[in-house]
Structure 1
Amino acid sequence: MAPNRGPGAKDVYVHEIDRTPEYVEFIQKLTAFHEKRGTSFEPEPRLPTMHGHVNVDLLKLYKAVISKGGYDELNKVQKAWGALAAELGMHHTDSKGTGQLSFQLKQDFYRYLAAYWIYDQHGREPPPKEILEQQSCASKFGPVLTRTVENFKHSASRSGMETPTRDERQSEGTPVSGNRASGRLREAPPQRVPFQPETGPSRQPRQASSHHATPTAANTTAINTGHGSNLSHVQHPNHHLPQHHNPNNPLHVIQAQQAAVRGASSAYTPTNPETASRLVELFEPRPPISVPLRPVSTPGNNPEFVKRQRQLRAVAGAPDTQLPVRPAIPGIGFEGPNIYMRCLQALRSGIPAEQSFALNHLVKISFERGDKYKFESFLGLAEGLIEKALEVGSLFYHIEWQIAYFSDPDTSDIAILDGLNGTDDILERIGRLSPKSILDYMQSADFSDRLLRITEAVLTIRNMVMLVENAIYMADVYPLKDLLCILLHLPSLEMLVEIKHFALDIAEQLTPWLILDSDDPLYRTLLAQLDSTDRGTILTSLRAISRISMNLEATNKMQNVPAVVLQNIMNWLLLNDEELMDACLDFLYQYTAVVANVESLLKAVNMEHVVPHLVRLLAHGAKRVKEDRVLEPERKAPASEEVATLPPDLQERLTNTDEPQRCYNWLQSLFEEDSESHITQIAIWQAYQNSFRAVASSSRNMLSAADFIRNVSHVFVNARAQIIRRQRADQSDLFIIEGIRARALPINPETKEEYCPCRWMVVKGPYLKKCNQFFLGGQTMWHHVLTTHLGVVIGEAGKIEDKEINASCDWEDCKKYSKPTQIKLSELARHLKTHFPSAQKRSFAEGSEAAAKRQRKAYITPAKTMSLAWEQTIVTRDERNPKVEQAAGIPLSAVLVLRNIARNVVKTESEEQLLKKHEMGAEGGGWNEKLFRPVIARLFEVMTENKALADYITSLLQLVQDD
């Protein structure tokens, strides 16, 4: 993971979730555990860090806490949770942020993992959720591993949490000075409840008993005022009458919840504690259930309905009467709207200062909270932003755009836009506008402020439609399409470049959910942008057009594309701009899928130049890949006790060498190191004696067996004498030398060159055996065969007479001259040299290049490999089968465009005209023959060398050759 530089600190990494199979299985287990336990569970809780909010990997947190001894042990160490957060990649530069981060991390483990930790690691049933998850991790109720209901009750009693009696309770109106002295906060004063006269009977009914609760006026008022407008309309005319204590009664549920929030109160203290049941001390009210509510657009809460009613009354000529405003109810506490509603109401107010405040915050909210900020949750927000953005018309034209939300708007006024069905003639209206004289680099302060507010409104829409839900919602808001047409047809001024790019971004997110025909104003507007010289404008317009109806069942036909646009696209394909090429190919893929469009393409551009360039793009970004495939694996020859005989020249030279040099050279010539092999001491000693019997019989000195064994360890560093103890009593111990093995072919101890055996078959007694003498190089072996086996005499200066001889080739497994034949010696020599090794010496002297290459051992037969080379373009992995590589990028788009052309060009009228010319004597073949015949060889080459594109090229060749 790439490090992130902290200010003046070491390299740290940012905490991220590794979605491995282990993580997915762990989250599934946690989800099932919390569902069974009846507790809430959030799989990816968010924590604020210095790098922004991050989602916690609960598996990493779980493993980290376990590695440090568990939750209870970690709580015993001071600042342990802060250190753990740093280890997990969560960092803060200030102490305040570190404290908040460590507490929230501890709270996440306590809430989501503590119970599972007890169950998983200790095999015990975790404590009830009432004394674990429903309590804060900051509560001093002891370790969670040993927490029980009894411990929880005693701890609560010691901490003073149980409800005091009336005698023990201090006056609520008098603050305690000791609280401030001990650092505690001052207690809140009692709530002032307005007096409400009793309307019920003065006597209690006979059925009332100690098991019935009588709510007071204070409680009733708390119910009416404490829960906002949802309960403010509920009236209790008989609130002094006795109520049965039904747990399902909403009144008692609300009272219990308020009691849990406010703490102890005299209204909930039994009149006689001695006769009250002790079971109520353990009772805890059920936590409030949060029900997600979505506002529904109604005439009572959506001002757009009111606006439409006013417009309808204005059209009908009726007076504009407003409904009386409901007076505010005094005594109801209201904290005020949240920032979302504050910005929405400020935007609707029309006050410039309020709108500036609203738009500034809406831009921030839409950028930071774009994943949750939805239009459908804030009724009127979309309409308010669009109306604010439409004010751009009054800045640059003599017009003030307005939206009419009724069925038949006045078409005579070009400033009135149809808000229900969209304005079909919006482009014609824009064409009739008279622009104002605006200087690009000099504006008034009021003009700049208005333009800034308009830009912020468009930017807010752009940020919000990046969310798919918002894009789907805005696709049904027809005034937005009119707004995009207006923005994209504004004058060509530098001050408007930014707002036009925002409009194109909005169009790119909207078009996948729109059905646009060739006459649609937005479609024509996007096509007009392709005549621009701005690269960003061209890119976004191409993407927006290519994505029309992408997420719908309708087909994007992309008709009536001007010829100049098609010519521009073909020119852009020639540029070395991958992003622009990719956008152009996406456009052409959609465009060539329709037969009529291929006909237009043939008329607008020279396809004989386009097709070869598309074929060249099949190798875009390709690289040559080489790979060695193993045909036969490497083999190791088994070790043998048989030691090869010394070659004649080496035998003669070593015979005249003194010890111990003779022993060194003999070992180097006939043995090599092998850590996995060994040879018996008796076998190597006997082989040494047999090689130098003539020396042993002479007066010259010979090494003893002990000295010889010691010399083996001097020549080969890793060789050592060992004894293999036998288990059976009838077997003697085996004395071996481990770490060496006999060579199959001797080598020259000085040059390290291998000797080659003579495999000429000779008669030895009743059997045919190989000559098996060793020689260096082919020249010495050739002289040996001539003189020894063929009986040819070599003259002076090495000259040989070329005469006819009666001879045969008795080389092992040779079938050419198996019988004696009259043949010239030169001809026989040419054949025999095929059996001899090359005359070129292979020098393996230390430090040479050949020695560096010869790292393998002589007893190892190298693997047979085959080198393969092919072209590889960009590929992607299949999500369902990661082992499968699929083509991607520009090469894939290019082959798809070629396939569309080959499939649809034969269905055009130009194909019929070309075939008629063929019947009149012109060159044969249709358009496929004309376009693809020059590149057919390259297509076959790509098919054979590019595995990812092979299937696509195959289908393309089938279309071309079938034609």
Structure 2
Amino acid sequence: MAPARGPGGKEVNVHEIDRSPEYNDFIQKLTAFHEKRGTSFEPEPRLPTMHGHVNVDLYKLYKAVIDKGGYDELNKVQKAWGQLAGELGMYYADNKGMGQLSFQLKQDFYRYLAAYWIQDCYGRDPPPKEILEQQSCASKHGPVLTRTMENFKLSARRPGEETPTRDERPAESTPTSANRASGRLREAPPQRVPFQPDTGPSRQTRNVSSHHNTPSSNTTQNNYHGNQAQQNHHHLPQQHNPNNPLHVIQAQQAALRGASSSFTPANSEMASRLGDPFEPRPPFSVPLRPVNTPGNNPVEFAKRQRLLKAQTVGFGNVQALARPVLPPAGYEGPNIYTRCLQALRSGIPAEQAFALNHLVKISYERGDKYKFDSFLGLAEGLIEKALEIGGLFYDVEWQFSYSGDQDNSNPSILDGLDGTPDIVERIRNLAPKPVLDHLQPADFSDRLLRITEAVLTMRNMVMLHENAVYMSEVCSLKDILCIILHMPELEMLVEIKHFALDIAEQVTPWLNLDSNDPLYRTLLAQLDSSDRGTILTALRAISRISMNLEATNKLQGVPAVVLQNIVNWLLLNDEELMDACLDFLYQYTAVVENVESLLEAVNMENVVPHLVRLLAHGAKRVKDERILQPEKKELCTEEVPPLPFDLHEKLRNTDEPTRCFQWLKTLFEEDAESHITQIAIWQAYQGSFGALAGVRSNLSAADFIRNVSHVFANARAQIIRGPGEVQRFIIEGIRARTVPCHYETREEYTRCQWQVVKGAVPKRCNQFFLGGEQMWAHVLTAHLGVLVGEDGQIENKEISTSCDWTDCVKYPTPRVVKLAELTRHIKTHVPSSPKRPQQDGAEPASKRQRKSYITPAKTMSLTWEKTVVTSDERKPNVEQAAGIPLSAVLVLRNIARNVVKTESEEELLKKSETGGESGGWNEKLFRPVMARLFEVMTENKALAGYITSLLHLVQTED
């Protein structure tokens, strides 16, 4: 499974419940609150998101709403609930789904947390449940925090109690954009009264109300009067006449609908407000069939009178012709589903052509809802239509018998109840017809097209889980699959054979097939094909046998040529085919007898190394930098390092302000978060040059401070208040370097750490030198007292000394050692000289200069192999092995586990006892690849657990 992603394509964290102690305590308090209040409470409501249904963490929702100001404040901001849903890890890619999600999230807070929020955060008694939980959050009853019974009654006042102005209430036919923007639900349209035809007689009774007196002779009157009478029907009381058929029908319909709303007072003080949110069931239309009466059909009654008179006078053989039953008014016939089913079962070619053409479309477009169990006889009709393929290519007319008494003497009669066990032998004994592959008559092509459409319909329908389970119980399906797959090798039959294999792939997980089953043998025969699609689908169908059942798929009776073909297909650079072959081998090698057959059919000493190579299929080298110690920044101090001796010699004779500029570049650097006092930096400058003889400085303190801003663009002089409200004059934006650097080359100097005074408080040399050669020469002459000749040669004599470099443990005490040996050791403390760029276009060293006050982080580079991985829905952060490497290691583990239980293992051990090669099959197969298995276990984290179990099986000695 891929990682969860939000609308922007970025990886996101899906909302989950954090069952912390705080969460459990909050849910307990919330449950007690709702029990006391008498309202329903669901601790973990479910919401639909683009990643599936999630359970809402009410504690997270409660905290998030409070952080945003509360429920009422959140409702004032448009799309605030959708934004909150995204922050909580609930996402939808489309606006429609996001709108529904945000509304349901708002409804959950309103129903389960709103009353508790008022009591918990404000210490108030929440409004009664009749005006809070029992109302929808989309109702316009105002904020919940200030909702009372009085303002609730005002906001819930019924229509007609007061006349709203045009600004207060817009027309129903013109929805405003504000309602849509605020996310509120639209108002329901007014209820429509279904049309009820007048079935009363044309002759009117005396006591019929004038509002319903509409004679048939006045049908051409003005429409206005008809509409006015229809409106008066809803407002004026009517006289009830039990003898009037119209009143009888209206009374029956009123009894079905319940009490009429016209008799409910619009403004009743005694009416209960609890019934306001109830929405009555909308009226439904009742199909009416006219009834023959002497008034509306006198011709029919006159005919009946004549027949009675004829029978009375002696014509007893006269019989009235039965009048056909007319369909109800407005009835357009059966739906397309029923019509296609009946047309398919009719046997009429034209009707079957119509039915199959539409069944293909329906099964493709509505495959998620079109089920066999909803249309009885559909599966049998499609199978019987597909069975006609036998008559096109063989001299046989297949038929299914459902009597249970199978007659084996007639090969054309198939057992429709339990399946035909010898269907393959019957097909082989048939005489084929001479059929040309690329030239057929029109009638032949039409029949084959209808048969293909019937098989395609079944193929589309079994893609649904329920239909696959249903078809697995239809035993005649296995016979028709065997018949189609054993058809002649013609190009015109390639399509229908692929449809049959697709059906088998979806049905076999629910079938228990033994080695003698005709369908099992038929699928194995397909593995001898040269068609890649046929091989792929057949391998998947065989590997999925009994996958959803408790029975074990033993896969026995596989021919040796099929096993050799599967091993050869593993060598191809075809991931889909390799995956199907490995799935088959995983099922096959799980049985000990099959491993014995595999050892006899193929050379396993060549198969095992290839399976080991597949452990790195698609692997990528991943490099990761691990931080051992994080980056460290030195604290800013007022201490300025001394000026190196060689730079002092150059700068002492330099004029101002150049000398000031070069001195600042050598000993200071920019740092926006640091500062130094003006007196400290001025004293450091005076200490470098002012106290030495022969050095003259005419630079004042004010000019020096201004020069600092010229050298460092971000440095500026400021006045700050220190402890005790004492003013401090500082220069912000610079700090003293830990080690000096050359003002031209920007190379850092190195501090000499030779201890000149040992003891409890050691004293170091602390002189700075540029490059390792100057440092090495300084240690030899100044600390070891070695004299260098005029030609630069040094006499290699024995000296008695120790290495006093700080933290050195090589020569802690004085000892006699050759000078060459000692100098080689001292060079390990001296840093090497940096390489300077020789090209003219090289980047200047100043741009690559690192900050001296920052100690770089210590890192370690790790490199390993990473194959295809997936994440578990329950543990999204844990990567698990997947794909071809996982299938390969599972096959290897089955071989290592079961090969020691075969008879070949005993024979191999007997040969080793008589002087042959020692060890069994595991030693013979896995010993050459042990180094690679250990390497994969070390570098591939996802496969480490599987390789460990494999090595445990291989290295276990009996």
Q: What displacement does 1:153 show? A: 8.1
Higher relative contact order (CA 8 A, sep 6+): 2
Q: What displacement does 1:378 show? A: 0.6
Quickly say closer, same or farther: Cα 1:414–1:162, change in 2 above 3 A: closer
Select 1:515's aligned residue among 509, 512, 537. 512
- 1:255 corresponding residue in structure 2: 256
Select 2:391's aligned residue among 385, 389, 394. 394
* 1:272-671 to 2 correspondences below 5 Å: 286-287=280-281, 329-330=325-326, 332-333=328-329, 334-671=331-668
Q: What displacement does 1:126 show? A: 7.9
Quickly say closer, same or farther: Cα 1:185–1:379, change in 2 above 3 A: farther
| 3-state SS in 2 of match to 1:21 | coil
Which residue type is aligned with residue 929 of structure 1?
E
When the two chains are superposed, the root-mean-square deviation of aligned CA atoms in Å is: 5.0
Q: What displacement does 1:683 show? A: 0.8
- 2:716 corresponding residue in structure 1: 720
Partners of 2:527 and 2:539 within 8 A in 1: yes
2-structure distance, mates of 1:212, 1:19: 68
1-structure distance, mates of 2:689, 2:827: 33
Q: What displacement does 1:782 show? A: 2.8
- 2:675 corresponding residue in structure 1: 678
TM-score, structure 2 normalization: 0.73
Which residue type is aligned with residue 537 of structure 1?
T
1-structure distance, mates of 2:790, 2:890: 79
Partners of 2:372 and 2:379 within 8 A in 1: yes
Q: What displacement does 1:166 show? A: 5.6
Quickly say closer, same or farther: Cα 1:787–1:113, change in 2 above 3 A: closer
Which residue type is aligned with residue 494 of structure 1?
E
| 3-state SS in 2 of match to 1:676 | strand
Quickly say closer, same or farther: Cα 1:593–1:115, change in 2 above 3 A: closer
| 3-state SS in 2 of match to 1:738 | strand
Q: What displacement does 1:416 show? A: 1.2
Q: What displacement does 1:825 show? A: 3.5
1-structure distance, mates of 2:229, 2:336: 30
2-structure distance, mates of 1:764, 1:889: 66
Which residue type is aligned with residue 398 of structure 1?
D
* 1:65-104 to 2 correspondences below 5 Å: none
Is 2:702 the counterpart of 1:706?
yes
2-structure distance, mates of 1:572, 1:532: 13
1-structure distance, mates of 2:774, 2:753: 14
- 1:875 corresponding residue in structure 2: 869
Which residue type is aligned with residue 571 of structure 1?
N
Percent of counterpart pairs with the same letter?
Answer: 62
* 1:875-894 to 2 correspondences below 5 Å: 875-894=869-888
Unaligned runs of 5+ residues in structure 1 are 1-12, 47-53, 72-86, 91-101, 134-143, 191-209, 224-250, 291-325
1-structure distance, mates of 2:325, 2:590: 65
Q: What displacement does 1:841 show? A: 5.0
Select 1:810's aligned residue among 804, 813, 817. 804
Which residue type is aligned with residue 453 of structure 2?
E
1-structure distance, mates of 2:768, 2:137: 92
Q: What displacement does 1:694 show? A: 4.6
1-structure distance, mates of 2:239, 2:838: 107
Partners of 1:808 and 1:820 within 8 A in 2: yes
1-structure distance, mates of 2:138, 2:855: 69
- 1:778 corresponding residue in structure 2: 772
| 3-state SS in 1 of match to 2:753 | coil
1-structure distance, mates of 2:626, 2:605: 41
2-structure distance, mates of 1:110, 1:800: 85
Q: What displacement does 1:110 show? A: 14
Post-superposition Cα deviations, 1:281-323, rounded to whole Å, max 9, x if no partner, equal: x999952799xxxxxxxxxxxxxxxxxxxxxxxxxxxxxxxxx
Quickly say closer, same or farther: Cα 1:802–1:256, change in 2 above 3 A: closer
Post-superposition Cα deviations, 1:359-405, rounded to whole Å, max 9, x if no partner, equal: 11111111111111110001111111111111111111111111111
Q: What displacement does 1:770 show? A: 1.8
2-structure distance, mates of 1:897, 1:940: 17
Partners of 1:845 and 1:851 within 8 A in 2: no
Which residue type is aligned with residue 920 of structure 1?
T
2-structure distance, mates of 1:443, 1:185: 71
2-structure distance, mates of 1:925, 1:549: 37
Select 2:921's aligned residue among 910, 918, 927. 927
Partners of 2:110 and 2:137 within 8 A in 1: no
Partners of 1:175 and 1:186 within 8 A in 2: no
* 1:901-912 to 2 correspondences below 5 Å: 901-912=895-906
2-structure distance, mates of 1:841, 1:335: 94
2-structure distance, mates of 1:674, 1:768: 32
Which residue type is aligned with residue 708 of structure 1?
F
* 1:105-116 to 2 correspondences below 5 Å: none
Q: What displacement does 1:442 show? A: 1.0
Q: What displacement does 1:774 show? A: 1.4
TM-score, structure 1 normalization: 0.73
Partners of 1:752 and 1:845 within 8 A in 2: no
Q: What displacement does 1:175 show? A: 7.2
Quickly say closer, same or farther: Cα 1:69–1:913, change in 2 above 3 A: closer
Which residue type is aligned with residue 771 of structure 1?
C
Aligned length: 795
Q: What displacement does 1:254 show? A: 5.8
| 3-state SS in 2 of match to 1:797 | coil
Quickly say closer, same or farther: Cα 1:15–1:331, change in 2 above 3 A: farther
Partners of 1:539 and 1:583 within 8 A in 2: yes
Post-superposition Cα deviations, 1:88-117, rounded to whole Å, max 9, x if no partner, equal: 858xxxxxxxxxxx9x999x8999899889
Higher mean C-alpha displacement, 117-126 vs 579-588:
117-126
Post-superposition Cα deviations, 1:903-922, rounded to whole Å, max 9, x if no partner, equal: 11111111111112122221
- 2:124 corresponding residue in structure 1: none
1-structure distance, mates of 2:505, 2:401: 26
Partners of 2:669 and 2:737 within 8 A in 1: yes
Select 1:151's aligned residue among 150, 159, 166. 159
